[in-house]
Chain A
Amino acid sequence: MSDKQFMRETLVEGAHAFKAGKMDRRTFLALCGATGFVSASVLAGDAQAAADHVVMWNWGGQSEECHGSAIGEAFTAATGKGLKFDTSGPLEGKIKEMVDSGNVTADVADADLFNAVSLGPTGHLEAIDYSVVSKEKTLPGYALEHGVSIILYGYAFVYDTEAYGDNPPENWADFFDTEKFPGMRSLYKWANGSLEAALLADGVAGDALYPLDMGRALSKIKSIKDNSLYWGSGSAAHSMVVNGEVSMGMIWQNRGRNIENDTDGRYKLVNNQALAMPGAYIVPKGNPAGRDAVMKFIATAQEVDAQLKLLDCLGMTPSNPAAFNKIPEGQQDYAITSAKNIEKIVYNDPDWWGKNGGDAVNAFLEAIS
């Protein structure tokens, strides 16, 4: 834990104690000074307000600005509470560590829905309060006990129009066919999406993917291993494509939009058979802002308005069915739940991933290394 974080927590604790009357004003002000809270806001009232916010744990970059404008502003207008960010990335191991250590500093994590399946039963997450959050405002099957899908992101692919301009690849079968479409490929390193794409390419129907046939998927992955690179982050996936390292690359569909723009359309996004991944909000057990505040925050994020703003700003696709037919014309190609794409996508099963994900990742790493 960094010093800064420690100072911040000390101050927040202090503010709580001050508010509850357990600490006098003078001590609290001294604490403000000691923790380096030295601006014009060393007024007890302001520092006290520091406790009245929700901390969102996300992945940084653009998402900070986008979550602020899309959800934070509406949330503040409705509840008077602010929104702050921890941008260190809520990986499953980090959430577990945070809750186990008893030092929970985040209220809501921008994670995957399968995290809710694996961390929920072990007692690391608060249950979602479905009297505040709505099950109708997400896709069926994506409102689980310990997490609810707010957005969808998709594993799609981009291809080089200069290499395959006359006869473009159309689906995962083409992606895995290095004879008909010679060239390098890139796939996601942590198995998710890659396994599904391999099975779809091998002829498995989209609604019959789960439980995943690991042996079959891995042998398909190995069949193009000599022509494949593997990426672990969105920026790596992006650079592999725009630097010409691969002629077809698996990509998160919102990154696909950026790549099309960055390369003036040289690389084109294919959303056919895109794998819809439910991105979910989950709440670490014992979150500092309390359960009520964070549930209101999650409910705000479900609203059509917030969903459309997230699409515009981050390229994340709405999961609230009421937002589907309000997706603007310019986003129809990129949003996987738009009228143009929704019939062609394949849905991820968070239950399978939550229960088998760890072993699947290790088997995948074994196959590619």
Chain B
Amino acid sequence: MLALRKHISPGWWLVAPFFLLVACLYLGPILNILWLSLSDPEPGLQNYSKLVESDTLARIMWTTIRICVITTGFAVILGYSIAYAMVHAYRREQSFMLTFLLVSFWISILVRTFSWLMLLGRKGPINEGFEAIGLISEPVAFMRNELGVLIGMVHYMIPYAVLPLLVNMQTLDQRVMSASRNLGASASQTFFRIYLPMTTPGIVASALLVFILSLGFYVTPAVLGGGKVLMVAEYISVQLLVTVKWGVAAMLAALMLAGVLAMLWIMSKFMKLSTVFGGASS
């Protein structure tokens, strides 16, 4: 007890009840989900064996991962450009850009999804405009397919990609870049050999954030995919609400959770996660 007291600051005893409460409120439901995946409709592993038996589930998983990877790629590349521009803009412009970024961050996902539908739909201004100037003879199918889902998701994810990158870029020591130029490196050499490696923690952080959030996307694929792009989150919701196969839904939810944790674990093998989330790097 005395040894324990030495290691634990007495302040923790004050926090302990709340900490325990929060831990229970988080862990309880998660354990319940895990239990459901093993016990509904009957005890056993039959929900998990469906993963191997049914190509539908494999296909849904594959669609989800494919869309999430592409979304992450585009969102991070675009987000990197925006963050780079913001860091190097004058203070006034910077705050303008930040305001626009945050405004789009605050607009509801439904509104943003339906705006794309109106803008890029068959009778939207883009298609009508292109047709009017004779660029295309048939409306381009931007929406109600995988392309539509990707456009909607990348757009939604850009602010999430920008913010970690922005924080990372703002903390860089600009003198390092000046030194590189001073020592004779060209601008692109400086960027690729000095700047880019120094922003790796920011890139990893924003990619992780975007990828994990993309996994749970539900509204955008359901609306912009025209019913043909089925991702895990929507499938889970159908199994919960319509077909009432809670075991399958819980199994998929548990799998997604395990996937995210596994990803974090693999990441931690390559780099200190605390640097990704803004901690000290040493």
Contact = CB atoms under 8 A, between A and B. Distances in A.
Interface of A: 91-94, 96, 118, 189-190, 225, 229-232, 236, 243-245, 357-359, 361-362, 365-366, 368-369
A365 B230 contact: yes
A1 B260 CA distance: 27
A190 B242 contact: yes
B228 A230 contact: yes
Contact of A365 (B123, B223, B235, B241): B235
A362 B243 contact: yes
A189 B244 contact: no
Q: What secondary structure prevails in chain A residues at the interface with B?
A: helix
Interface stretch (B11-19, B55-63, B99-107, B173-181): B55-63
Contact of B144 (A190, A245, A358, A359): A245
Given A368-B227, A369-B63, A361 B238 contact: yes
Nearest to B54: A366
A298 B60 CA distance: 42
B42 to A, nearest CB: 14
A93 B240 contact: yes
Contact of A358 (B121, B226, B230, B243): B243
Interface in B215-273: 222-223, 226-230, 235, 238, 240-246
A362 B241 contact: no
A358 B244 contact: yes
A368 B123 contact: no
Given A245-B121, A369-B60, A91 B241 contact: yes
A236 B244 contact: no
B122 interface: yes
Interface string B172-213: 000000000000000000000000000000000000000000
Contacts of B242: 91-93, 190, 358, 361
Nearest to A89: B241
A91 B123 CA distance: 33
Nearest to A225: B228
A243 B59 CA distance: 31
A357 B243 contact: yes
A118 B244 contact: yes
